[in-house]
């Protein structure tokens, strides 16, 4: 059975699968990479939810593993370690759509970073980047079906009331951009994928936790950073995610490393390999 480890740095609670990590002294990396062994009836989506990971993230970290029939006693990499995304200020919520992950930075006396996987806008319905504010918290929100969606699905009513079939889930955060909400979902298998019309979706257990920790006026910064890099303990690490928008991630990694003053400390072959693999795992690219 897969059981999340408990350490001084990161706490993963099965059934309450938020992840909270002490804010790092170097401001760079949180969490610990983990592994588990599958049971006969396990699938990667089930393991992902158990560890509060999104679907694409766990699939990318385990190339060659059948997501739905991985096999019994298969060793699975849990991508539960993250380089914090760059943002103008690490204040409030930062969402990196390239890795499909939300970060809640320390506030109101908190000393921890909370992080949750998210589902985001599908191709052509991309979640916009930018800086916004939470303007309202809504419990048991009705879904006012947009006209654009009703044209695609004319069988839908104008309003879907709260309940188990409501795609808004049990809670929603309305942002200053009226086209975007952060909300729960009735389709947990979509977390960690591009499947919405632009909104940001969380597992129900995660939106309940986030909802209780944030309030109107909080900043929400949305970025698109498929490559992240940091210096850690004298080493240089990168984390590469495949957002599928055709960018040359090796070139992007080189630009980022140069901007951070780290280019002279890396092995270019290792950087190229990490950019090709796009595993979402932290990769040490330091020179020997």
Does residue 255 fall inside a structural domain?
yes
Give the domain-ending residue among 223, 242, 269. Answer: 223
Does residue 94 fall inside a structural domain?
no
According to the model, what pLDDT value does residue 10 have? Answer: 32
Shared domain check, 209 and 150: yes
Catalytic residues: 183, 199
Q: Among 221, 199, 220, which Cα is nearest to 134's?
A: 220
According to the model, what pLDDT value does residue 246 have? Answer: 86
According to the model, what pLDDT value does residue 244 have? Answer: 83
Rounded CA-CA distance 181/172 in Å is 7
Does residue 107 fall inside a structural domain?
no
Rounded CA-CA distance 219/132 in Å is 6
Rounded CA-CA distance 251/272 in Å is 9
Show the domain range for 254: 232-284
Length of the chain: 288
Shared domain check, 236 and 218: no
According to the model, what pLDDT value does residue 20 have? Answer: 59
Query: Residue 143 — φ and ψ, nearest 5°?
Result: -105, 110
User: Cα separations (Å) of 197 from 11, 101, 220, 258?
Assistant: 32, 17, 18, 35
Give the domain-ending residue among 182, 199, 223. Answer: 223
Shared domain check, 143 and 218: yes
Give the domain-ending residue among 205, 223, 241. Answer: 223
From first to last of the 288 residues of the chain, give the pLDDT tens digit: 343 332 222 333 333 334 556 656 556 899 999 999 998 899 999 999 999 999 999 999 999 999 999 999 999 999 999 999 998 888 899 999 999 999 999 877 777 899 999 999 887 778 999 999 999 999 999 887 777 777 788 887 778 788 888 889 999 999 999 889 999 998 999 999 998 878 999 999 999 999 999 999 999 999 999 999 999 989 999 999 998 888 999 999 999 999 999 999 999 999 999 999 999 999 999 998
Does residue 137 fall inside a structural domain?
yes
């Amino acid at each position: 059975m897969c059981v999340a480890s408990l350490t001084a740095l990161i706490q993963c609670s099965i059934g309450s699968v938020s992840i909270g990590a002490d804010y790092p002294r170097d401001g760079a990396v949180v969490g610990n990479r983990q592994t588990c062994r599958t049971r006969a009836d396990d699938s990667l989506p089930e393991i992902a939810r158990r560890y509060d990971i999104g679907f694409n993230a766990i699939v990318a970290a385990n190339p060659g593993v059948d997501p739905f029939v991985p096999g019994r006693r298969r060793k699975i990499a849990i991508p539960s370690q993250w380089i914090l995304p760059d943002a103008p200020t690490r204040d409030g919520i930062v969402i990196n759509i390239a890795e499909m992950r939300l970060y809640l930075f320390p506030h109101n006396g908190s000393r921890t970073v909370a992080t949750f996987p998210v589902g985001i806008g599908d191709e052509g319905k991309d979640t916009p980047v930018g800086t916004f504010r939470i303007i309202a918290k809504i419990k048991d929100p009705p879904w006012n079906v947009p006209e654009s969606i009703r044209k695609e699905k004319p069988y839908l009513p104008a309003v879907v009331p709260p309940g188990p079939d409501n795609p808004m889930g049990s809670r929603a955060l309305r942002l200053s951009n009226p086209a975007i909400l952060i909300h729960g979902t009735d389709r947990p298998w979509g977390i960690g994928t591009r499947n919405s019309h632009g909104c940001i979706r969380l597992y129900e257990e995660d939106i309940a936790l986030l909802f209780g920790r944030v309030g109107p006026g909080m900043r929400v910064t949305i970025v698109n950073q498929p490559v992240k890099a940091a210096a850690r303990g004298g080493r240089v690490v990168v984390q590469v995610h495949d957002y599928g928008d055709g960018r040359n991630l090796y070139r992007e990694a080189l630009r980022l490393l140069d901007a951070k003053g780290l280019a002279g400390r890396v092995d270019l072959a290792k950087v190229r390999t990490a950019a090709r693999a796009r595993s979402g795992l932290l990769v040490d690219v330091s020179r020997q």
